Amino acid sequence: SARKSWDAARAELSAKGAGKFRMGDLVKKSTGSEWVGHVCGWYSTNQTPEGYAVESSAHRNSVQIYPVTALEAVE
């Protein structure tokens, strides 16, 4: 079931230390439209096992969600 898949993905992310990024990490979109901000949450679906909510550094309170493959760390 979808719920079981979601729970399995969540457990896997938790086991890996919440995935590639952690809450508060500064990230940017790696291609396409520009988006720079801090990780403020994460999500998991069947299509996107590891995704993140990113609050914009330029536009306060604006949040976008992206799959892990669309993001990179800002040094």
Domain parsing of the chain, residue ranges: 2-73
29 is catalytic: yes
Largest CA distance in the chain: 39
In the set 29, 43, 47, 52, the catalytic residue is 29
pLDDT digits (tens, 9 = 90+) for 6-53: 566 666 655 555 689 999 999 999 999 999 999 999 999 999 999 999
> Do residues 54 and 66 make contact, with C-beta atoms less than 8 angstroms apart?
yes
Please give the model's pTM, rounded to 2 decimal places: 0.76
As a CATH number, domain 2-73 is 2.30.30.60
What span, in angstroms and rounded, lies between the C-alpha atoms of 10 and 31? 26
> Do residues 63 and 19 make contact, with C-beta atoms less than 8 angstroms apart?
no
65 is catalytic: yes
- C-alpha distances (whole Å) from 13 to each of 20, 38, 50 are 9, 19, 8
Query: What is residue 70's DSSP assignment?
Result: G
